[in-house]
Amino acid sequence: MAQQRGSAAQCPSYTEPQNLTGVSEFLLLGLSEDPELQPVLAGLFLSMYLVTVLGNLLIILAVSSDSHLHTPMYFFLSNLSLADIGFTSTTVPKMIVDMQTHSRVISYEGCLTQMSFFVLFACMDDMLLSVMAYDRFVAICHPLHYRIIMNPRLCGFLILLSFFISLLDSQLHNLIMLQLTCFKDVDISNFFCDPSQLLHLRCSDTFINEMVIYFMGAIFGCLPISGILFSYYKIVSPILRVPTSDGKYKAFSTCGSHLAVVCLFYGTGLVGYLSSAVLPSPRKSMVASVMYTVVTPMLNPFIYSLRNKDIQSALCRLHGRIIKSHHLHPFCYMG
């Protein structure tokens, strides 16, 4: 069980929060307390984690090794895959270790570190999806000027801007949590250090901190979503003016994979947020958290590879080069 500095850090009504002893450890709820189910869940999530890492690494390798994919769209896709690896690596390995060791303890410093990286990579995903929507907008609405507008300098700047905005969001969350010195409880109703769960454990009335977090959510969450919606609003108008159905299909197909990932990312994120606020059982709300933090990064490579012939061809050529390096002669169907 968690050991704390001093007492249980409860909040008496007659004591000011800053006079209480701080917490040194938290307890994560976990997906199940059944000891017989722990190895099964650990094996399941280990398999999902390996599929996620392998799938996203294959996307990165395919894009970096194939000159046909050295375009802005695939440059952003490889960075999204890298962010997805970091996003799922923030929570899943710790959860698997906890299942194997039957331990729910996470240190105060470890909790803040996990929360910081979770916010960083989640915001990075958010920003990159917005950047990719802008890339599709330029490609469809300004095709003749696409290479001029989406030049390597701008692409690199957009990646750096997304990273620094994500880092700012992460550090602002960290700064707010460091100001919370009093907690009502040490039990976090999730399998990772969710920022919203940590705020719920506070025993002081942190109205200003809540307003800051809501403001940050509006800036770092709503603005990227607004950018995506605006880009697709501009994309739909010229596509509808295409006279042939084949032309409309080709135009929409360039956005299909990105749109599917956007719906999956924001859909599972919204369900996770609403379930934590509405569902009375924490374990039921954790199912939505699993969808958001584990399933979504795992499905993204499949969405892009299954719907994209360029990625399929690049993976096939990569496989051929690997086999050729071992002095074999495979036959690779290029589809």
Q: What is the pLDDT along the chain (335 residues), one digit of tens a residue?
A: 444 443 344 444 433 443 334 667 888 887 777 778 888 888 999 999 999 999 999 899 888 887 888 899 999 999 999 999 999 999 999 999 988 888 888 888 898 999 999 999 999 999 999 999 999 999 888 889 999 999 999 999 999 999 999 999 899 888 888 877 777 777 788 888 888 777 777 776 556 666 766 677 667 777 888 889 999 888 888 877 777 777 677 667 778 888 888 988 888 777 766 665 555 556 666 777 888 889 889 998 888 877 677 777 777 777 777 777 665 544 454 44
Residue 316 lies in a domain: no
Residue 223 lies in a domain: yes
Residue 188 lies in a domain: no
Residue 315 lies in a domain: no
pLDDT at residue 188, rounded to an integer: 81
pLDDT at residue 48, rounded to an integer: 94
The Cα 53–Cα 297 span in angstroms is: 9
Dmax over CA atoms of the chain, in Å, equals 78
Exposure letters 168-180 (e unless 16+ CB within 10 A, then b): ebbebbbebbeeb
Residue 84 lies in a domain: yes
Q: Quote the number of domains for the chain.
A: 1
Containing structural domain, residue 88: 27-182+194-310
Residue 287 lies in a domain: yes
pLDDT at residue 219, rounded to an integer: 74
pLDDT at residue 57, rounded to an integer: 93
Domain CATH code at residue 235:
1.20.1070.10
pLDDT at residue 34, rounded to an integer: 76
The Cα 55–Cα 250 span in angstroms is: 26
Cα-trace Rg, the chain = 23
pLDDT at residue 275, rounded to an integer: 63
Residue 101 lies in a domain: yes
pLDDT at residue 307, rounded to an integer: 66
Record the pTM.
Answer: 0.83
Of 175, 172, 180, 225, give the one whose Cα is nearest residue 198. Answer: 180
Residue 324 lies in a domain: no
Q: Give ∠ CA 236-239-244 in degrees, rounded to 5.
A: 150
Structure tokens belonging to residue 100: 């194997």
